[in-house]
Structure 1
Amino acid sequence: MIHRVLVIRALHQSPELADALRKAGLAPVIVPVLEIAPPESFAGLDDAIARLSTFDWLLFTSANAVEVFRQRLHGDLPEGLRLAVIGSITARAAQKVGFAVTLRPEKATGEGLAEALMPHAPGARMLLVRAAVARDVLPARLEDAGAAVEIAQAYRTVIPAAAPGLLQEIFAGPAQPAAIAFTSSSSVHHLLQVLEAGGLRLPESTILATIGPITSATLRDAGYQPTVEAKEANVISLAKAIASALEQPA
């Protein structure tokens, strides 16, 4: 029997994870619980871009932030501006749009990026491009270390209109998914919000797989224990972790 795995990433990001799951012998079921929407205003981001040459570092914590920033940027990055990203997925997104990555931490978390930037923080001006709602650990630690950090909102995440009905059908029916792949804290929040609105909970028998420690912590904070966590913060590692948990050859 081929196990079904619920993929809840934004639709434009789901194919990569779905392909990794298929290669691991699993059947992805794609039901996005979040989609990328513009922030309430681009004024802050556009203003920061207009002053880009005044910054020493440009920081990205997601591929979505990279993509939106590139769309708003008319021209090239100023010479001498250094770029730091939070992990391999964000690094690939940056390289895809022609940005050279200066720094990427071994630990793909805000804490890991903050630690890697500590030697560069004193007196540095840093622009952090991120979602409208995000953890503040990165800017807080950098400011404590002497950096001046400006935050620019590039996007926000919203629940797609079709998600509640599709998830109600999946979780209220007899054929529950064998596993759910969580790739961000937002995916945790949005899925649980939809399920709770429909009077549903995550099935106890379903494997809850996360892409990294921050997503795992978010799941625990919501009252659920992650079954398995990817060894590396990428979709291939996540798919292998799910396959292993389901005792499928990966």
Structure 2
Amino acid sequence: MGLPAGYGVLVTRPTHQAQGLCRTLEAAGAMVWLLPALEIEPLSAAELPAEAVAPLGRADWLVFVSPNAVRHGLACMARHGIRPRADVRIGAVGKGTERALAEAGLAVSAVPDAGFTSEDLAAEAAFGDMRGQHVMIVRGDTGRGWLGAHLRACGAQVDYLAVYRAVRPRVDVAPVREALQSGRLHSVIITSARGLDNLWFMLGDSGRESMQRLALVTVSRRIARHAEQGGHTGPIVVAASPADGDLLEAVHQASEHHNTR
């Protein structure tokens, strides 16, 4: 079943991660606008010298929080000639991260069967008794601290390595503002709280007010609460996962609100 004729969707993923989702939405009949609300920048070689990266080659566990963490973490290791231990165990916060590791030839020891959050990963049996285990968590420069605190409470030694930063991109927002003003946008897809904050800033006060009346499709109740606390008044649909197919299904659900107006 396709989307309603003329149904407009704003995609805010970083450009390099958005193309598949845009094609999926367009195939379902959506009119798609792409406005990246985040841009991923790898940390420089000067910011990640060999001595900072070396612990990745000694750790008992490597935990990657996102596909970007895999991409930039492994590139950083390769740059310094560092390899994981042969017996290292690898954790992935979600299925997309697991796929990125598999594409790099790395087998995952722990990934949530359902869910894609730090809490879901921590619930895996492999993370029960962590006494004597050294865990390196590979992430961006502003990641949450919940997982590290939890694993420390389970007895692990935990260190973080930030390998990328998420920045607000400099892009032309005029087409999106015009689409908002003309009523051609109906849903917006947001996959991070920081991306939502950036989008609000980029659109300005009037654009933010218009966007907050649209249906919001997101990937967690935490982001949904952030949107509500920031003044979002439109319907909110939480997708089953960040996968393109699940986001499309959530957009279908959001479009039902459009149909009843």
| TM-score (norm. length: structure 2) | 0.84
Identify the residue that residue 206 of structure 1 maps to in structure 2.
214
Partner of 1:10: 14
Q: Does 1:70 pair with 2:77?
A: no
Return 5+ residue gaps in structure 2 as ranges: none
- CA distance in 2 between partners of 1:191 and 1:114 (Å): 31
Structure 1 distance, partners of 2:169, 2:202, is 10
Partner of 1:219: 227
| Selected match of 1:130 from 107, 128, 139 | 139
CA contact (8 A) 1:31 1:166 kept: no
Which deviations, in whole Å up to 9, do the C-alpha atoms of 1:29-62 show, x marking residues without a partner?
A: 1111111113377645743432333211001111
2:197 corresponds to which residue? 189
Rate the CA distance shift 1:138–1:221 in 2: closer, same or farther, 3 A.
farther
1:156 equivalent in structure 2: 165
The 1:104/1:163 distance shift into structure 2, 3 A limit, reads: farther
| Distance in 2, Cα, partners of 1:87 & 1:42 | 30
- CA positional deviation for 1:125: 0.5
Structure 1, 40-49 or 66-75: larger mean CA deviation: 40-49
Counterpart for residue 97 of structure 2 = 90
Moved more, 174-183 or 203-212: 203-212
Counterpart in the other structure of 1:121: 130
Identical residues among aligned pairs (%): 28
Q: Let me know the Cα RMSD of the aligned residues.
A: 2.4
- Flag the structure with more relative contact order, 1 or 2, with Cα contacts below 8 A and sequence separation at least 6: 1
Q: Which amino acid aligns with 1:158?
A: V
For the residue of structure 2 that corresponds to 1:47, the secondary structure is helix
- Give the direction of change, closer, same or farther, for the CA distance of 1:48–1:133 in structure 2 (3 Å limit): same
Structure with higher Rg: it is 2
**Contact residue 76 and residue 163 of structure 2 kept, 8 A:** no
**Which of the numbers 245, 250, 253 marks the counterpart of 1:236?**
245
**Which ranges of 4 or more aligned residues in structure 1 deviate by more than 6 Å?**
none
Answer with 160-169 or 39-48: which moved more.
39-48
CA contact (8 A) 1:87 1:233 kept: no
8 Å contact from structure 2 (residues 212, 232) kept in 1 = no
Residues 145/223 of structure 1: CA separation in 2 closer, same or farther (3 Å cut): farther
Q: Counterpart amino acid of 1:104?
A: V
TM-score by length of structure 1 reads 0.88
Structure 1 unmatched ranges of 5 or more: none
Q: Deviation at 1:238?
A: 1.0
Distance 1:189 1:84 in 2: 29
